[in-house]
Amino acid sequence: MAHAIEFRNVSKQFAGSRNAVERLSFAVEEGTTMALVGPSGCGKTTSLKMINRLTDPTDGEILVQGRSIRTLPLLELRRSLGYVIQYIGLFPHMTVADNIAVVPKMLKWPKAKIDTRVDELLELVGLPPTEYRYRRPRALSGGQQQRVGVARALAADPPILLMDEPFGALDPITRLRLQDELVQIQRKLHKTIVIVTHDMDEAVRLGDRIAVLQNGHLVQLGSPATVLAKPANDFVADLLGQDRLLKLLRKTTVGAAMARSPITTDAPRIGEKASLEEALLALLATGMPGAAVINDAGRIIGSLSAAEIVGAAKAAAC
Ligand SMILES: Nc1ncnc2c1ncn2[C@@H]1O[C@H](COP(=O)(O)OP(=O)(O)OP(=O)(O)O)[C@@H](O)[C@H]1O
């Protein structure tokens, strides 16, 4: 897989202070999501802003789609990047449609193409065009505004999406819903996404890989399962919280862990797409040693024991 983004020994020092980012190296593969996570001030936003050149590194090199961004014309670079921030900054006097159409208009797309694109994007982010096209941002909830922000970032179909705490200002329920929607959108569009968050749960839910930053340093880089199972140090373990093993079970599906030997006893039934956490809870609730795994059609296709749940969690960590 090609690297969509690569950091090579990147450092950033703002005048008169210690390095905000210190020799950061990592790569984001095309079509995957990288979550940059860590506490306030650890250098997440600075790292993101160096990708779209809102700020430049003091040292090191960043490549986007294999090319150094130092030599890439700024307009060309920015066209390959969609940018979503916490307070999306929709233009209040413009309709939802016009807000989404800003970049296509700049690119001088024909009107019919813009109209079709706006409708397509509104559908994608779950805002029926007939209802929302002509609304002003003030007539939308925070979650709806954030959806419009995502639609706007996707308007000219950039291959890369940079997201800085995109759901940070939302209540927990709306936040969860938008995280799920982003996962669905990503399944359809296969963008390369870099998302900044201080919330480890969000990083685990959205990231194919997680980069944990502390004081500008990369302290761990790995899949959510690896980070959950083997935090690099106490700092990462603290960020993950006491329930990190439960989170690990939440990340793994029954289908990935089951044995392909169907059982037909009165064992509880569990769907193959359910998480291991749900399976474990089903076993605890019924007191049974194993569950029968069923597919979407309700047919038994395998079995899952508590021992297999533990084994799968361990394997996920390798
Ligand atoms: N324009 C700037 N001038 C001087 N220092 C800055 C500037 N921007 C960021 N910093 C400093 O760089 C460090 C990293 O900041 P950054 O915004 O990247 O952190 P963050 O991890 O995104 O934090 P938060 O989650 O609070 O947004 C901080 O110490 C911050 O004070």
The ligand 1 atom nearest the CA atom of 49: 18
Distance between CA atoms of residues 52 and 241, nearest Å: 32
For 92-136, the three-class secondary structure string (H helix, E strand, C coil) is CCCCHHHHHCHHHHHCCCCHHHHHHHHHHHHHHCCCCHHHHCCCC
**Is the pTM here over 0.90, yes or no?**
no
For the chain, the C-alpha Rg in angstroms (whole number) is 22
Beta-carbon count within 10 A of 26 CB: 18
Instruction: Report the pocket of ligand 1 as residue ranges, CB < 6 Å.
Output: 14, 17, 20, 38, 40-46, 198
Cα 43 to ligand 1 centroid, rounded to whole Å: 6
pLDDT score of 1:
55
List, for residues 91-133, the tens digit of each pLDDT value. Answer: 989 999 999 999 899 889 999 999 999 999 999 888 999 999 9
Prediction ipTM score: 0.95
Going along the chain from its start, the domains and CATH numbers come out as 3-248 (3.40.50.300), 252-316 (3.10.580.10)
Ligand 1 atom 9: residue of nearest CA: 46
Cα 84 to ligand 1 centroid, rounded to whole Å: 18
pLDDT score of 99:
94
Cα 255 to ligand 1 centroid, rounded to whole Å: 42
pLDDT score of 86:
76
Residue 255 pLDDT exceeds 70:
yes
Ligand 1 atom 19: residue of nearest CA: 41
Contact criterion met (CB below 8 Å) for 317 and 294: no
DSSP class of residue 267 equals P
